[in-house]
Each structure stands twice: as structure tokens, then as C-alpha cells.
Amino acid sequence: MSGGTDQNELNQNSPPPSQACRPPQVQNHRSSIISQSQASHSYSQFGPEPDHLTDEELVALVNKLKSQVRLIKLENNLLESTIMRLDPCLMHGVYQALEYATRMNSITSLCGGSFSKSPTSKFVLAESALMSCRMTGSPSTRASTRRIESCAKIGGSIVLGAGPKINLLERSELVSIEMEMLMCHLEKSRHKAAKQHALFKAQLEEVGNRVTNIEKATKSFKQEVIVEGWNKIAQRIPAEIWIRFLREWMKLSDSQVAKLRLRTSTLNTQYSKLKGQIKVKAELSESLRPVDFEKKKIENSECLKLINQKLSQLTELKKMTGDANLNLTIHKKALIKQNSYLTKVVKTTENRKNLTVALNSERSLIQGQADLLAQKLNDIRNVRHQHQVPDVIDYVKVKSHITDLKHGIKMLENRVHIQQISLNSINRTLRFQPTDCPQKDSPANVSKKS
């Protein structure tokens, strides 16, 4: 719908529109008749006939009309929601007028005439809309004749496409108000969804805890009663085992119930405390005065000054810490170098100590050997001191005697060699000598006889 309402009625605050009083068939008829009327109006006023257009121009015109229809639909929805929110009584008779306009449009299209071209059809449509609005109005609307007539006039002007216009500022204000309403509805639905999500999550956790408890109970029952409690002799499960298991299970369930009761009691106390705090805060907020706000503003300004001062001090401290960190890194590097040098010195000292220990052990050994050699040297010195050198003539005599003895030994060795050779020759001849001949006296036999 392209019309508008009064500015005072737009600024009123009323509850959100009730969607029950909006029939869907009427909405569909309304959008179709408005688009058709707008299209026929654009054909008749702003462009040539469709029969005299080319294909490209016709496609461009159709796309343009589609965009216009889309924008008009959005504006109609916005205005309708605004009217239904401010004063729903203004919409009485509009739906009937739109239905009558659709019927008239279908009749005129069947007869071959144009709904937007004939002024008589416009007049008849406006009169019929006025009559339908008067006939189908509610008792409350019948009492207010001025509102009915304005409604009929608005409906007729809407169908004819020449109703009151809304400027850009009013449209932007309507859009902003509608967006605020939609945001409020979205926030409410979001809070409601968050509550439902928390509730469903708590229910799922409770169901999960119940499932785990049931699984534990079934496992313990199977293990303690069915498996371990089976009596092979009696071929049955004794009742004492069953009763004992139930008693233990009841004790565990009672302890868990006591824990849950304690938890619920603590939660209830916390809830009551929070409720009391909220109540106290609400009472304090009711008893607040403008002086209190001024006082709070002064306290906030002082706090801001203190915060700014602390922030400046914090920046100075950050600068000091940065310088200190830089010096610390430099000293750390120097300390690392000193530590490396110290480790090298310690290693060298340890190596030197090990070398000194090894040298001491070698020194002890060498000292022992030196003592032995010194003792031998002393013995040799004593022998040298005690030794007396003979005379030269005695030495010559002894030397000549030794040479004579060596010469005799050499002659005896030659003789032995000669005798050995002769013995070997004799033995050789004796081997080849026949056994019949009388044996001659060999030098060996002669030596044996002798």
C-alpha cells in the first residue's frame, strides 16, 4: 500500500500487532491487485504501450516493474505492520475493498478493458470500496463515521494509485521504528532461546547422570548378585545376597539424595540472597535522585583522574622495566661469558690436578728407580775404588797365554774335523764291502779293542 497515516498516530506507543486479524487470502489478493494497478499506472503514465516495444525494452521494463513491485510490497508490509501496531481499527474495510478490486479487475480484464485507463471504472471502484467499507464495518466503526470514511477514502486511493504520499523522512522514521521493534522481538526470542537451551542442557545432563547411574547399578547387580551370588550346589541365588545388595544400594542412593538435597538447599539460599540483592538494588534505584547521579559523576571523574595517573605511572614503570630488562640482558650475556670462561678454567685446573697426580705417581716410581741406580752406582764406584790395575808385563803374559790357548783349541778342532772325515770314509767303505770277506780291523774296532 502506498498511502500513509496521520503523524500523531504514528508517534503513539501501542502493543505489537495481532497477526490473527490478517487473512492470508486477502494478503495475496492485496499484493496482486497493488502490483497490477501499479504496473497499469506505470504503463499508462511513464512508458509506451507494451505492444510497441522491442524485446530488450520489454525485458528491461519487466525487470524494472519487478523491482518496483518488490519495493512496493516491502513498503506495504512495513505500513501495514505500523498501522496494526498503532491502531488496528484503521485496517477495517481495506481487505474488503481489495477483494472487490480484484473481482473488478478480473471482470474488466475479461471484458477487454483496462482497469487503469477507464475513469468510470475508477469511480465505480472507489464508490464500491466506500460502500463495502460502510456495509462491512464493525459496530465500533459505525459509531465513528469519520474514521470509516477516511478508511474508505484511503482504500479507494490505494487502489487507484493516487493516495496520500509519505516523504522520505517519515519513511526512514517508520523503518527505524520497525527495526527497533524487530530488534526487541529478536532480543526477547534470543533470551527465551537461551533459557530453553540452558533448560534442555540441564535436562540432558540429568538424563546422562541417570543413564550412568543405571548402567553402574546394572553392572554391579550382574557382578555381585548374578555372577558371584550364584550357588552351584543349590543351583539358585540365595535371598540373603539379594537383600544385602538392595540394602547397600539403598544406602548409596540415600547418601546421593542427601548430597543432592544439600546442593539444592545451598542453591536455594544463593537464589534467595541474589533475589534479595536484586530487590534492594531495585529499591535503591527507585529512591535515587539527580543529586546522587551528580555525586556518582564526580566520583567517576575522580576515579578517572586516578586511573589516568596510575596509567601514566604504569607507562613510566614500563619504560623503567624496559631499560632494566635491556641492562639485564647485557649483564646476562656478560655473566654467560664469565661462566663459560670459569667452566674452562675449572676444567683446566681439574686436568692439571690429574696431571699432577700422574706426575707424582711417576715421580715416586722414578725416585725408586733412581735409588736403585744410585745404589748400583755406589757399588760400581766401590768396586772401581777397590780394583787394582796389574802391571803391563803381566798383562802381556796373560794375553800371550790366552792366544796360545786359542791356537791350541783351533788345532784340536782341525784334528777333530780330519778324524771325522776319515771316519765317514771308512764307514762308507764298510757299507760297500761284501759280508763273506773277513772283516779287517777297522780303526773303530781297533779303538774298541784297545
Where a domain ends, among 347, 370, 388? 388
Cα separations in angstroms, 274 against 91, 277, 279, 402: 47, 5, 9, 137
Given a cut of 50, is residue 137 above it in pLDDT? no
Alpha carbons 108 and 114: distance in angstroms, whole number: 7
182 located within any domain: no
Q: Which of 59-63, 112-116, 364-368 has the lowest mean pLDDT?
A: 112-116
**174 within domain boundaries:** no
Residues 176, 187 contacting (CB under 8 angstroms): no
Half-sphere exposure at residue 340, Cβ-oriented, CA atoms within 13 angstroms: 5
The mean pLDDT of 130-159, rounded to a whole number, is 43
What are 113's three cell numbers? 478493458
Give the integer Cα–Cα distance in Å for 95 and 114.
22
Average pLDDT, the chain: 76
Show which of 234, 260, 286 is a domain's final residue: 286
- Report the amino acid identity of residue 148: I
Provide the domain limits for residue 282: 197-286
C-alpha cell at 54: 522491442
Give me 312's grid cell.
601514566
- Judge if 345 and 383 occupy the same domain: yes
User: In this predicted model, which residue has the larger pLDDT, 87 or 358?
Assistant: 358
Q: Is the pLDDT of residue 8 over 80?
A: no
- 68 burial (CB, 10 Å; 0-12 / 13-18 / 19+) is middle
Residue 185 inside a domain? The answer is no
Query: How confident is the model over 292-302, as pLDDT tens digits?
Result: 888 888 999 99
Alpha carbon distances (Å) from 377 to 334, 365, 384: 61, 18, 10
Residue 213 belongs to some domain of the structure? yes
Residue type (1 letter), 261: R
User: What is the predicted pLDDT for the residue at 169?
Assistant: 85
**Which of 340, 372, 388 marks a domain boundary?**
388
Note whether 20 and 160 are same-domain residues: yes
Q: Are 192 and 198 in contact (CB under 8 A)?
A: no
pLDDT at 408 over 80: yes
Identify the burial level of 390 via C-beta atoms within 10 angstroms of its C-beta, where 0-12 means exposed, 13-18 middle and 19 or more buried. exposed
pTM listed for this prediction: 0.37
Domain presence at residue 17: yes
Same domain flag for 233 and 152 = no
pLDDT in tens, 318-375: 999 999 999 999 999 999 999 999 999 999 999 999 999 999 999 999 999 999 999 9
**To 10 degrees, what angle do helices 94-111 and 119-135 make?**
150
Q: What percent of the chain is predicted at pLDDT more than 70? A: 71
Q: Tell whether 138 and 37 lie within a shared domain.
A: yes
Q: Which of 213-222, 236-245, 316-325: highest mean pLDDT? A: 316-325
Q: Indicate if 134 and 250 belong to the same structural domain.
A: no
**Do residues 137 and 41 share a domain?**
yes
Q: How confident is the model at residue 186 (pLDDT cuts 50, 70, 90)?
A: very high
Query: Does some domain include residue 431?
Result: no
Comparison of pLDDT for 284 and 216, the residue scoring more: 216
User: Is there a single domain that holds both residue 325 and residue 229?
Assistant: no
Q: Is residue 404 predicted with pLDDT exceeding 80?
A: yes
- DSSP helix/strand/coil, 387: coil
What is the rounded average pLDDT of the residues 11-40? 42
Residue 241 has pLDDT above 80, yes or no: yes
420 vs 85, higher pLDDT: 420
Helices 24-46 & 94-111 angle (0-180, nearest 10): 50
CA–CA–CA angle 163, 168, 173 (5° rounding): 105
pLDDT at 157 over 90: no
For 4, the 3-state DSSP assignment is: coil
Residues 274 and 361 in one domain: no
Any domain includes 75: yes
Q: Are residues 305 and 382 in the same domain?
A: yes
Helices 24-46 and 55-86, packing angle to 10 deg: 130
Give the number of domains in the chain: 4
For residues 164 and 2, give the distance between their C-alpha atoms in angstroms, rounded to a whole number.
8
What pLDDT is attached to residue 113? 44
- The number of angstroms, rounded, from the C-alpha of 177 to the middle of its chain's C-alpha atoms is 40
